[in-house]
Structure 1
């Protein structure tokens, strides 16, 4: 290397041509920018200076002169460029005559945003189990991050972090392959905006669920609920919702290209009769799919209503009320005593609902015993199922128990006490009168004695 450097220096000096030391540098430009690089050499009549792109021996890119100038540069200009000096003067005593001398070596790096150069699906329409091919040529510098997926069902096929010309397939078409396939991604120059190529694949197939479905839904009377199916089919199937027991229902049916919904909303809430099993049937010329759903009741039982009382005694009261739906879970009733509206306690044991209608519009009568006599009561009824308790019945019912009557043995004791009390009173009264009479006579005798 030292010998080569000395030789270049000697030749340059003899020819009157100053050559700077060769160096390696890098020039980064955005596609569309301009590039100007000056070779570290001075032109003369005896020296020919030019730039040539490395690696292009068969069709070399060459630009004469000390300046490498490229306007509106393209990504194809990326690569290594060498500045050469060629001795064009014949000097028989110099072996270096006619040989190239490398002056500068530079690297040109052209950056450009991510882009989809080509996207294709072939064929675009297939029957199930027929083959299709997907192609995507995704380019970018710096290296892009990109992926290929089905936008309609989010099924992914591939992702990478480098430029690539991808051919995927042939792939046997499934029903869930149908939809809008997308090749999309970005790099640092994309400014958070993806480059995207898209194409629609149509697959003739029988109806079926598009992804995992929920066939058991829980609802509550008086509130919204829905049964939903996301399906794949082509052509679009005929949709039928029905009750498995044949009864009518008042839910609303809405169907789109890939979704059908049986729903109840706030204006048309769930009724007791809506709970049960449903069947969805989807049919086109390629087949039929049947799905079974259940709308299951869950939540708080309905509050007892029409609470009234009768036959109030000193220690009991008869209570009558109307029960509501137990929300599908066996319920029982409890008589609750209210204290100033802030606290309560139970007055009864569980009164089990053994009706066959889940408590709907059943009339109940219960005699509550063990009450205190001559006492004020403020009561409400509640229903409780396996999970929740209903609200307190409204309005609360108030009453006073009667005074407790005396028992026979209590009456005898009372009579004896009265008799004894009367006797003692009479004796006290007689004694008091006798004492007064004695005093009166004694005073009279004393007055008579004093007068004498």
Structure 2
């Protein structure tokens, strides 16, 4: 961008002035008048400080001046009557010209922590201001007022990968070019994102682990848990692990390794088992006797805190059972000293050092046995008493004479015998 500035090219010097600084734009003509106090009949001439310029007369005139003419110029008076010479005036001529970037070279791909270096050649008068500005955030990576050839340097970080604007400017011009810088950076968590590394879910809950990475090139992700690979979904710089229902074996450390051509980085997530235990389940009862019964139940997860089970009957504590380890094996426990012929409704409540389970187990109802009555004898049947038969001596009768033949009689019938019996009975009750 060219800046047009008008400069006065003709300068009148008063006699009282001793010296001046005169700026003139390169390519313009310079006129400086030396009308100082001169001796009568004397003569005037101009010379520069290194004696490479001499001009007779009171006018310092340089046409189409170039930057190499930026020097001190002195005006001398010759007094011929005294054969003497003296300086009566001086002017410093400053040839100004636009700022410009003449050349640049740099390495456009670096690793983090290396040094960026751009070799620049610039010109300009007044001295130009050199700036190297990161385009995305306006941060100034380099600033100088140097001339000629020099190096613009700064130490690169992962966040340094960007497009940079290199400017060279003064009052006469503003020159600019764009530089692209690629930084090879080891993958790492993005400091601008919220990443949760420790979670304390409950068994059965949904769990999500996320990584928002930065670095270049884009990384590959490898998740492991207890030495085994873990399924994950990747999208560019994001990797996600979803656990639909947390199980006991899902607790513990998860290792995530992110890698690219610049190197690799490993971070650790921790799924912590912490809090009150889960409720006991599947409470059953068996081996019921007169005064004892055996309860059996499945413990819930204890979240790495030894748990105690309180056996309750209708809400009243009956007994407690404390496990010795974190086993999830089924628990069997025998209750003694129960009342005979009694009905009990029992459940089991779990607790640990972090608190009580959200709810007790299911309830079982049972009745203890009743005592068996002593055995009874079978009923006795009385038989009738039979008197021994009386023995009578046989009676001897004379032999019956044989029947005398006579008129024949009809034999008695059964009906006639019955009729006789009825008549006798009737006579008896009369």
Comparing both structures, which one devotes a greater share of its residues to helix? Answer: 1
- State which structure, 1 or 2, has the greater radius of gyration over its C-alpha atoms: 2
Which TM bucket (shorter chain)?
0.3 to 0.5
